[in-house]
Amino acid sequence: DIQMTQSPSTLSASVGDRVTITCRASQSISRWLAWYQQKPGKAPELLIFDASSLERGVPSRFSGSGSGTEFTLTISSLQPDDFAVYYCQQYDTFSQGTFGQGTKVEIK
């Protein structure tokens, strides 16, 4: 089974900061990776798919990069609405979809 490890687990940042979250896969998953944002009491929302494609309606301050085993989600200028938990998900074979453990972005 492919394991996904996110770092850091918690990130403290201020409005306007550039924020980067890393997701590592236990084996190569090519570019088959998605990022989600989840706010308290809500369902996750898709931000990025195929490692770097921005989902419709998602602000352009969100971007994704990477391939193989290492991926990053970057928020270019953190906004008040961005404080949330972020999850990566691999779907390398399209038969299993393993999530990372999550990264909480909190106010510094």
Partner 1 sequence: QVQLQESGPGLVKPSETLSLTCTVSGGSISIYYWSWIRQSPGKGLEWIGYISYSGNTNYNPSLKSRVTISVDTSKNQFSLKLNSVTAADTAVYFCARSGYCNDGRCYGFPFDYWGQGTLVTVSS
Closer residue to partner 1 (CB): 17 or 22: 22
Minimum CB distance to partner 1, residue 43 (Å): 4
Is residue 4 within 8 A of residue 99, CB to CB? The reply is yes
* 3-class secondary-structure state, position 90: strand
Closer residue to partner 1 (CB): 56 or 60: 56
Residues within the interface to partner 1 (CB under 8 A): 1, 32, 34, 36, 38, 42-46, 49, 55, 87, 89, 91, 94-102
Please state, in angstroms and as integers, the Cα–Cα distance from residue 9 to each residue in 20, 41, 106, following that order.
Answer: 12, 19, 11
